[in-house]
Amino acid sequence: MSVTTREAGTEDLPSLLRLYRGLETEMTTLHPMWHLADGLAEPVESSFATLLADPDAIVVIGEIDGYPFGFIAARVEEMLPQAKDEKVGSIRLIYVEPEAREIALGEEMRDVVMDLLRRRGISKFDAHVLPGHRLAKNFFEAGGFSARAIVMYHDDDEE
């Protein structure tokens, strides 16, 4: 079994869309607000095309024996002015299909995207994780991440 990663291109849009729908289903099950505030804007294929063309974004595909089983999307983001032009590499989305989660594909993608960001001069990293998503929290903690903020949420329509 061969695990590989590579930067995604426009030829990967069908695979990215398929993988994103798996992520969307999983995340929306954890929190119904995810697809409204934390996912990609519809149409998702256009959002991925925009990400792929954005010089401040990185999208990596993770493959097993040449078949895409996961992706990670990160972008370079501004920090506050007092950071003196230092930027943060923000991992916004990561997904590995359930049947491929025990073979370190996610770790490989995370490490590759962080290395690509480091080559751009980034030394600070964020990863966006839903509260209660213990596996994702553990995954990032194993990679050296720790929580620095929690976003609280309230919806009057849910009362």
How many Å apart are CA 57 and CA 97, to the nearest integer? Answer: 22
Place 158 in a pLDDT band, splitting at 50, 70 and 90: confident
Q: pTM higher than 0.85 for the full model?
A: yes
* Stretch 74-87: mean pLDDT: 96
What is the mean pLDDT of the segment spanning 76-99?
A: 97
pLDDT cut 70: percent of the chain above it: 100
Distance CA(87)–CA(99), nearest Å, equals 35
Q: Which CATH architecture has domain 3-152?
A: 3-Layer(aba) Sandwich (3.40)
What gap in Å lies between CA 93 and CA 40, rounded to an integer?
9
pLDDT digits (tens, 9 = 90+) for 7-17: 999 999 999 99
Tens digits of per-residue pLDDT, 30-71? 999 999 999 999 999 999 999 999 999 999 999 999 999 999
The pLDDT assigned to 154 comes to 85
pLDDT value for 66: 96
In one-letter notation, the amino acid at residue 109 is M
Round to whole Å and give the CA distance between 106 and 94: 8
Residue 21 has pLDDT above 80, yes or no: yes
Q: For residues 101 and 111, what is the distance between their CA atoms, to the nearest angstrom?
A: 15
Q: pLDDT band for 129, please (50, 70, 90 cuts).
A: very high
With bands split at pLDDT 50, 70 and 90, how would you rate the model's confidence at 149?
Answer: confident
Number of residues written out for the chain: 159
Angstrom distances, CA of residue 77 to CA of 34, 50, 98: 21, 16, 30
